[in-house]
Amino acid sequence: MLALFDLDGTITRRDTLLPYVVGFLLRRPLRLARLWRVLPASMRFLLRRADRGELKSALLQAALGGCGRAELDAWTAQFVTGLVRQGLFGDALAAIAAHRRQGDTLALLSASIDLYVPAIGKALGFAEVLCTGVEWSGERLVGRLTTPNRRGVEKVRCLAELRARHPQLPITAYGNTLSDLAHLALADRGVLVNGSRRARRAARHAGVDCRVWR
């Protein structure tokens, strides 16, 4: 079996991107003055003229653009250590451990970015990690996205990619949002974790199991 886990809100207790960015900025407070650059993308997003990927790209370019790889790697190591220590659902860790005992292939699929998601995957023992890529120029971060934002229909595409690479493995997929139902419903078994009332109602119609993880 291939066990496919979403990250934010499924394994972690909350989203990870803003805590990652804010945590870095608190250590480099002079960079806070750059955040005005996010305003145009924020306004376009509010007016539904920009998507989440464009907003994410604008935030990364403003907050982290120009930072060196070594500096960001050091923050990533600190961030991931703290997250793994106290920011994960115990039931998620138990589910991951159960799949590992059964010999299942563990895959992590997240809309969060490859500055830190691969490090989380490595810490938790995932064999494969698919997440949103960000652009570098040599050893300096640019911050533009190099892949589609791994959300909604893009997760459907990633599920199809995994199925093509592992055709012999049935897939159990875990997610937590209404947008995750698009790929959960296509897995051999889909599990909605801590979903909203609306998401749980849609999950039942789609034949997706609902679970509460703490």
Host domain of residue 38:
2-211
d(CA 124, CA 11): 10
d(CA 10, CA 16): 11
Total number of domains in the chain:
1
Digit-coded pLDDT (tens) for 147-182: 999 999 999 999 999 999 999 999 999 999 999 999
Digit-coded pLDDT (tens) for 101-123: 999 999 999 999 999 999 999 99
| Residue 112 neighbours by CB under 8 Å, 6+ apart | 7, 8, 15, 16, 17, 131, 132
Say what the pTM is. Answer: 0.95
What tokens were used for 110?
Answer: 């997240």
Which ranges constitute the DSSP H helices of 131-193?
153-165, 181-184
Parallel, antiparallel, or unpaired: how do β-strands 2-5 and 189-193 relate? unpaired
pLDDT at 194: 97
Task: Kindly calculate the radius of gyration of the chain based on its CA atoms and give it in whole angstroms.
Answer: 17
CATH code where residue 23 lies? 3.40.50.1000
pLDDT at 69: 97
d(CA 204, CA 67): 45
Digit-coded pLDDT (tens) for 19-78: 999 999 999 999 999 999 999 999 999 999 999 999 999 999 999 999 999 999 999 999
